[in-house]
Structure 1
Amino acid sequence: MTDPKQSFEHVDNVRTREEQLGEQLFDAERQYTLWTAIRTHKRILLHCTAAFGAGMCFGYDTIANGATISMPGFELYFGAVTADGTLYVPSIWASLWTAMSYLLQAMGGFLVGFVSDRVGRKWPCVGSCLLSIAGVGIQFGATSRAMLLGGKMVNGLAIGCLFATATAWASEISPMRLRGPIQSAIILFMFFMQAIGLVVVRMFVPDLTTHSFKVVFAVQWAWPVATGLLFVFMPESPTWLLLQGKTESAKKSLERLHGCNNEIEARLAHMALGIRLEEEQALRHGAGSYVDLFKGSNFKRTLTVSWMFIGFGFAGACLLAQAIYFLIIAGLEAIHSYDVAIGGFGIAIFAIVASWFLTEKKTVDFLGWSWRELNLLISWQAVTLVSTAWAITSEISSYRLRAKTQGVAVISNAFSTWLFTFTVAYIYNVDAGNLGIRAGFVYGGGSLLFFIFSFFLVPDLRGFSTEEVDWLYENRVPIWKIQENAARAREGVQAMEANMQHEKVVV
């Protein structure tokens, strides 16, 4: 591997002009409105279609996992019958099919962190898509409950790897003003694909043969195939390339993302400067292993990411995963249960788009938890928790720990979903707790709990660069005072840059 210090020499030689120009570009672009940023960075948005595909894979898999168990054809083939002749899916299998898929997602999010730091972001995404194709194939050909479980576990592993790496890649190629909206757009495509998946499932609800649910599985092949092909033609993350000391490759990647005549040298110099600052921190805090996520100022960031995603379970996300089956056992006809779910996802999609124009992410979190506390409207979760959590995750992480932070997000999300999904069926199902629709009130207190603790853990990072976020956490600025210290953060980063340059000149 090329020595990073030698690879950064070219950038160091032009520091006076290019780094200053890069800083000016960054300061100008951080003031852009959303529409101005979209018009300026159309090429980056086009490249992000690959990451949007990862959201589509995740979204459709959620439906294939949760909605198919409520299809009459599925219940006839894999289900059981009560003494009075009512079809149902045994609680143990309803829990295992969903919970084990999410557990393997957690494993995928953890394992891919090692791989993506070594070989990059692009090719692990391609490999994950190939693994997903295999997992879908096992589900399509399943002839037993155990074989179906195996397919869901293989695909869960693939989805965890894909989503963690794709969100990290999208974060690293995104300009600061679009980083949050692009992460939210990934979630938008995830919910859009869930709505499409429900439409597909609804079309085959009247079909009582195995053909009904097998078509749902077969359609799933389209998304990993398309996403894998897109990633083959995508550029590697310029941030990862710089971290590996591959300056020329990083320059070529930036040219593809921004265009050849868009101040590439200045952008490269600004990125390299930020990475050198992190290298200075790495000498004090470690080189970027999973252990480093729990050391020093990184621990609070990791706690914030984990807290947001674990909150999904307490606030009722597990009910959303099995919403249709829940509505059916509550007494609603199967066909109308799908109509309700499709309408809910439609509201969620509209809410996510609206959230792009709400600049304070912490405020959105507070509104969401309050709204659920008052109304128990799970569909609002799409904007207040899911999209906001992924946006904050992409902004709170440092360069050297970004891939592993995204992995922690996937692990936390998957573990929470696994734990609560495994138990939720025992709360509402007819062969267990039999609470029925009253199960919704079990999760009311969780929203209040997260409403309170988010004040101390969830930051508003609007307008901050990665280097400034590092400074804020290094200097232990209270979460509720972050915006008040924006000027201090900029001055602090400038002072560190000047000090680093002075030390280089002295040496």
Structure 2
Amino acid sequence: MTDDLKSSTAHLEWEEAGFLKADQELGLIGSLSFSAGTMFGYDQIVNGASISMPAFMLYFGDQDASGLYLPSLWTALWTSMSSLAQALSATGTGFLADRIGRKWTGVIAGIIGLAGAAVQYTALTRSSLLGGKIVGGLGIGMAMSTGMTYASEVVPPRLVPAVQQGFVVFILIMQAVAMGIIRVFVTDMTEKAFRTVFAIQFGVGGLVTIAFAIAPESPVYCIINQREEGAKKLYRWLYRDDADREERYSHLVKTIEEENSQREENQSSYIECFQGVDLKRTLTMMFLFGIVNLGGGPFLSQSIYFLISVGLPTVHVYDVSIGGFALAIILIVGSGIFLKNVRRRNKLLSGCIVNFVFNLIVGALYWANGTGPKWAIAIFMNVLISLQACLMQSPGWSIAAEISSYRLRAKSMSLGIMSQTFTTWLVTFVVPYMYNVDSGNLGARTGLVFAGATVLLIWGVWTIVPDTTGLSTEDIDNLYEAKVPARKFATHKLAITAPDDA
């Protein structure tokens, strides 16, 4: 174990001070996968915000004595079925990505997304509109699973956290753009208003298709499928004149061979993700991808509808929401600069504590009277969206992308995205029944439910989430094989390397 850790840690990737400068081109290639984040981010906003558009209500709504409304069941399906479709497609994407490669799986995802956009744009009934949303969700699940797998494989391990943070930033940028677009059309009562919102999905679907079409294939896929010449050609192109390309390539091959040597067959399977030490790694990934949803993310994403329902002006609610996404982008970029020395596990743990406090405050404000407390709820909910993205989603997804073995990465990442989208669907479907007056009637007290859930999340982070800062994939393989407690990964590594450094 000690020798294995020494050999992996001695690799240039963890000693080169100027790795960012040397790998700028590589990071740019990895950023092609961010197109999947734009597709996901736009859909997340369209799910909830489009039903608040008056033009949408006029065209697809029903009317009774009290005015226009959308049937509760259809509303629940509209806001949640895209996530369920994403969960289903993400689960199978790992198999497809291991068969035909990450590149072409991404292209197929973009094409499916375009098909879903076409159905939504031309839909004349609520049922056909919902069908288009489900088709689009299938493409988004494939794109997210493929994109995050590709981003974690095409760049060196030291760059994986930065690339995953970039992935989250692009999701937030597109969410802010989508919110701004809907804000522009919210006062337009014509059919063109919501049709334009749906038509923009052609742009994000096309972006995914083009980005993956021009992207080089993942070197991990090439090596696992015994296409060494293709992987070497790719490395020669990726690293150009960098003298250490052979060492980088040899280290990647060595890690994959060691992972394969533990199995009789080189071909991985989903069952393997739930066997031996890989079970703990897979469950940890699924926990990390679902942590924001279990902490109340879907409740916050429905803040526009919720805040309008308590009497706040529609246009100003959109303005506050746009500001919340802008703040999230600033916080993530700022944390990358000013909190770069804070370990990701500690950042995630602090994020869960902040989430508990904010949800507690939102819930307590239910008992305060007047317009002021309502605006306070709006501000706290939108600031919490930013803090969740910065302190929970960004570090959580970064850790999740690092803890999987190369051998199982496509399939375990698919299971992680499945967890993210399934928990989105589940909580999104349930939350309206918590706060709506005709069901649970909790109102802002819904925050107390997620404050309680966050207590369990804090325990989960402390117990099963490892600190992967400075660890290679080979290091993580060895630490899991040695059954080192997750919270002791960093200290165990230091204890091993300290005698050698001395």
How far apart, in 2, do the equivalents of 1:226 and 1:344 lie?
25
How far apart, in 2, do the equivalents of 1:222 and 1:268 lie?
36
Summarize the alignment of residues 45-444 of structure 1 with structure 2, pairs less than 5 Å apart.
Answer: 45-81=27-63, 83-85=65-67, 87-283=68-264, 287-356=267-336, 357-376=340-359, 377-444=384-451
| Aligned-partner SS, 2:263 | helix
Whether the 8 Å contact between 2:31 and 2:151 is mirrored in structure 1 is no
Cα deviation code 1:171-208 (max 9, x no counterpart): 10111111011011111100110001000000000011
How far apart, in 1, do the equivalents of 2:290 and 2:69 lie?
29
2:44 maps to 1:37: no
Query: How far did 1:26 drift?
Result: 6.4
- Identify if the C-alpha distance between structure 1 residues 262 and 217 changes in structure 2 by more than 3 Å, giving closer, same or farther: farther
How far apart, in 2, do the equivalents of 1:286 and 1:246 lie?
13
Whether the 8 Å contact between 1:51 and 1:166 is mirrored in structure 2 is yes
Residue aligning to 1:466: 473
| Aligned-partner SS, 2:11 | helix
Query: How far did 1:487 drift?
Result: 4.8
- Identify if the C-alpha distance between structure 1 residues 461 and 324 changes in structure 2 by more than 3 Å, giving closer, same or farther: same
Query: How far did 1:273 drift?
Result: 1.0
Whether the 8 Å contact between 1:314 and 1:446 is mirrored in structure 2 is yes
One-letter identity of the residue aligned with 1:381 = Q
Question: What is the aligned-residue RMSD (CA, Å)?
Answer: 2.1
Residue aligning to 1:3: none
Q: Which range moved further: 104-113 or 303-312? A: 303-312
Query: How far did 1:79 drift?
Result: 2.4
Whether the 8 Å contact between 1:30 and 1:463 is mirrored in structure 2 is yes
Whether the 8 Å contact between 1:251 and 1:268 is mirrored in structure 2 is yes
| Aligned-partner SS, 2:483 | coil
Cα deviation code 1:394-437 (max 9, x no counterpart): 10000110001110111101111111111112222344333333
List 4+ stretches of structure 1 deviating above 6 A.
Answer: 23-26, 488-491
- Identify if the C-alpha distance between structure 1 residues 46 and 237 changes in structure 2 by more than 3 Å, giving closer, same or farther: same
- Identify if the C-alpha distance between structure 1 residues 59 and 149 changes in structure 2 by more than 3 Å, giving closer, same or farther: same
How far apart, in 2, do the equivalents of 1:486 and 1:188 lie?
31
Query: How far did 1:60 drift?
Result: 0.7
Cα deviation code 1:214-236 (max 9, x no counterpart): 11111121112122112111110
| Aligned-partner SS, 2:323 | helix
Cα deviation code 1:381-403 (max 9, x no counterpart): 11222222221111000011000
Q: Which range moved further: 52-61 or 265-274? A: 265-274
Whether the 8 Å contact between 1:460 and 1:482 is mirrored in structure 2 is yes
Cα deviation code 1:117-160 (max 9, x no counterpart): 11110000011001100101111111111111101100101000
Match of 1:485 among 452, 470, 492: 492
Whether the 8 Å contact between 2:8 and 2:474 is mirrored in structure 1 is no
How far apart, in 2, do the equivalents of 1:109 and 1:209 lie?
36
Whether the 8 Å contact between 1:122 and 1:237 is mirrored in structure 2 is yes
How far apart, in 2, do the equivalents of 1:71 and 1:322 lie?
14
How far apart, in 1, do the equivalents of 2:139 and 2:59 lie?
26
Work out the percentage of aligned pairs sharing the same amino acid. Answer: 40
Residue aligning to 2:375: none
- Identify if the C-alpha distance between structure 1 residues 330 and 262 changes in structure 2 by more than 3 Å, giving closer, same or farther: farther
Cα deviation code 1:361-400 (max 9, x no counterpart): 1111111111111123233111222222221111000011
Query: How far did 1:90 drift?
Result: 2.5
Whether the 8 Å contact between 1:472 and 1:489 is mirrored in structure 2 is no
Whether the 8 Å contact between 2:467 and 2:489 is mirrored in structure 1 is yes
| Aligned-partner SS, 2:487 | helix
- When normalised by structure 1's length, the TM-score is 0.88
Whether the 8 Å contact between 1:101 and 1:152 is mirrored in structure 2 is yes
Residue aligning to 1:28: 12
2:458 maps to 1:451: yes
- When normalised by structure 2's length, the TM-score is 0.89
Whether the 8 Å contact between 2:329 and 2:386 is mirrored in structure 1 is no
Query: How far did 1:488 drift?
Result: 6.4
How far apart, in 1, do the equivalents of 2:289 and 2:249 lie?
33
Query: How far did 1:440 drift?
Result: 2.5
Q: Size of the alignment, in residue pairs?
A: 467
**Structure 2: 5+ residue stretches without partners:** 360-383
Residue aligning to 1:498: none
Whether the 8 Å contact between 1:91 and 1:425 is mirrored in structure 2 is no
Whether the 8 Å contact between 1:251 and 1:264 is mirrored in structure 2 is no
- Identify if the C-alpha distance between structure 1 residues 159 and 443 changes in structure 2 by more than 3 Å, giving closer, same or farther: same
Query: How far did 1:265 drift?
Result: 2.3
How far apart, in 1, do the equivalents of 2:496 and 2:86 lie?
36
How far apart, in 1, do the equivalents of 2:333 and 2:92 lie?
32
How far apart, in 2, do the equivalents of 1:189 and 1:259 lie?
28
Whether the 8 Å contact between 2:9 and 2:472 is mirrored in structure 1 is no
Query: How far did 1:336 drift?
Result: 0.9
How far apart, in 1, do the equivalents of 2:199 and 2:496 lie?
51
One-letter identity of the residue aligned with 1:27 = H
- Identify if the C-alpha distance between structure 1 residues 313 and 42 changes in structure 2 by more than 3 Å, giving closer, same or farther: closer
